[in-house]
Amino acid sequence: MTTPNLSIGCASGFSGDRTDGVRPVIDTLVRHGGQALIYETLAERTLALAQLARNQDPTRGYEPLLDELIRPALEPCLRHGIRIVGNFGAANPRGAASRILQLAREAGLPAPRVAVLSGDQLDSPEQLACLRSQLDGQLDGLEIVSINAYQGAREIAQALCAGADIVVAGRVADPSLTVGCALAHFGWAEDDWTRLGRATIAGHLLECGTQVTGGYFAVPGLKDVPGMDTLGFPIATLDAEGTISIGKAEATGGLVDTRTVKEQLLYEVHDPAAYLTPDVVADISSVRVTQDGPDRVGVHDVGGHARTDTLKVNICYQGGWLAEAGISYAGVQAEARARLAADTLRKRLGNQMPLRFDIIGATSIFADDHGVFPAALTCGQAKDVRLRVAGTHADRQVAERVLREVTALYTCGPAGGGGVRTSMKARLGSISTLIPRELAPASWHFEEEA
């Protein structure tokens, strides 16, 4: 008996993404017999922010918009057998699972079977010793916030095969959300590198949400995209061989064509012949992209090679303070006044911390991180500019001098500055390395109702 194709919708491309795109995706999946819905909500530092939130409140630390993302999906997905898989667990997958069960109770729904993945957070003495050895002293003196390995698809597939309605993960690789669904649906072997490579690229096309449906692609007059205010989220369909078809939610704005797909194919890919993930080394060096219909693109000839023996690890640490302030100048000699203000601040603060200056409207692209404007950019005649100043320092009190000095420009000049806005933020730094796969085993369990 032939296994039916697998259709997977994506309802989020990052933490903070729009939350109103999920229902059109689900409606489209229901109409066409789709089986899975993924949420991708983690970036490099998102998980560290979640860990800081959990440190303040042990019940938190998962995706802040979880309620808005999951509440409209629960009833239709449970009713139509659409599995939900997401890394919205962030630093607290069990907390996210408990909240999902609570949302189901509040909606009067039968309790879903919620599986929780674990193993990405690295804190054992053996794991830490390995990382210190790998990094040769780079961790010395750092205030570590989070250490997480990028886990793969195996445990997602195991949980789905065991009957999970919803799988809650922390730090799994973005494409692995899709690969786990494909492994469970088709029953592929875990060393079927070609099919895994294809599923990985399908996941890569889905993982950033509306980037592949025209959002980040749009440039008026050059790359026009209709309905930017109602962009549809993407849907990928895989057959038993892993052949990929990319579309989007029906009755929505946006665009899926060979150009949007090619841009997303190359996004964050350093070597097209070796796109490294925990599941497989995907190969798009011979890929073909075809326009198969309106908002429907086929992706062919993706390859795959054996996975590596290591997993990527992301280490986030406290990185001091970032002080930002801005002030506007308009009218006669506006740009010259902004440059004079920058020169004044450089002389008053430059020996205390690194500074960056941007004259937005004149030099905001070309200034460097040392606060120097390129010599080729001579003083222009911009009539409406905003001076942005940023400084970093480990000591908050030192960094705060940036805010005070920019505010003082109101009366200390140059003339006519206004609209000062200031901001102080704690910074996070990150280091990436590799760890032997066997030192970071993943696992999963079903979360029980409280």
104 contact partners, CB below 8 Å, separation of at least 6: 74, 78, 110, 111, 112
Domain limits, CATH 3.30.70.1120, in the chain: 318-432
Please provide residue 419's backbone torsions phi and psi, each rounded to the nearest 5 degrees: 70, 40
The DSSP bridge partners found for residue 218 are none
8-state DSSP, 119? -
Q: Which two tokens stand for residue 209?
A: 């949400």
Q: What is the dihedral of CA 430, 436, 440, 442, to 10 degrees?
A: 110
Q: What is the pLDDT along the chain (450 residues), one digit of tens a residue?
A: 688 999 999 999 999 999 999 999 999 999 999 999 999 999 888 999 999 999 999 999 999 999 999 999 999 999 999 999 999 999 999 999 999 999 999 999 999 999 999 999 999 999 999 999 999 989 999 999 999 999 999 999 999 999 999 999 999 999 999 999 999 999 999 999 999 999 999 999 999 999 999 999 999 999 999 999 999 999 999 999 999 999 999 999 999 999 999 999 999 999 999 999 999 999 999 999 999 999 999 999 999 999 999 999 999 999 999 999 999 999 999 999 999 999 999 999 989 999 999 998 865 555 556 656 555 555 566 678 999 999 999 999 999 999 999 999 999 999 999 999 999 999 999 999 999 999 999 999 999 876
User: Whole-model pTM?
Assistant: 0.92
Please provide residue 39's backbone torsions phi and psi, each rounded to the nearest 5 degrees: -125, 125
Chain centre distance of CA 258: 23
Q: Which two tokens stand for residue 268?
A: 């964050």
Residues 64 and 118: their CA atoms lie apart, in Å, by: 19
Residues 349 and 351: their CA atoms lie apart, in Å, by: 6
Residues 442 and 173: their CA atoms lie apart, in Å, by: 13
Please state which CATH number belongs to domain 318-432. Answer: 3.30.70.1120
Smallest CA-to-CA distance from 61 within 82, 94, 92 is with 92
